[in-house]
Amino acid sequence: MDAGVTALIGAAVGSLATLGSTMLTGRSAARAQFAQWRRQHRRDAYAAYLGALHDRDLAMDAVLDALRAQTPDLPDVDAKVERFVALARTVHRAAEVVHLEGPRAAATAADDVAGASAELSAVMRRMVERARAGNTSDKAADTALATDRGHALYQAVKAFRSTAATTLDHPGTHTRG
């Protein structure tokens, strides 16, 4: 084989090696960019959900505080309940985005928050109905139960926050399935 053919073969092998290396580097960069994009979307979904929960929980606290009065101001209670309901809808919409963005562990943690929220909301609704009826006989028991359910809700939100942080810190360990 003469030197020209050897040089041509060497150049071809070098070009193929460079092309292969470039393709691998490009794919790796694309994967990293996609992972960062997905992480940012999840982060935004989790932050929106936690923000909506915070606002809704403040509204629920306002309702419960208004109901603790000896004689609750019913028009004030109704206005606060209306605000709570509007904010609860915002939480529901934000939870849907958490479900879409995943992973399943985050969606499950959001479902646990929804369950704890529903339990506290049921106590709150019962307290509102009793206040409208002028029934104060179970007020102390309802207030204690609301406190207990509020603590359970806090624990569920704390667990969601932990799951979300783990998902964002270790994106490869949480998949859609």
- Per residue in 18-71, pLDDT (tens digit) is 766 776 676 777 777 877 888 999 999 999 999 999 999 999 999 999 999 989
Q: What is the distance between the alpha carbons of residues 41 and 63, in angstroms, rounded to a whole number?
A: 33
Structural domain boundaries in the chain? 37-173
Put residue 102 in one of left, alpha, beta given phi > 0 → left and psi -120 to 50 → alpha: left
Question: Hey, what CATH class is 37-173 in?
Answer: mainly alpha
pLDDT digits (tens, 9 = 90+) for 95-131: 999 999 989 999 999 999 999 999 999 999 999 999 9
Task: Answer whether 141's CB lies under 8 Å from 69's CB.
Answer: no
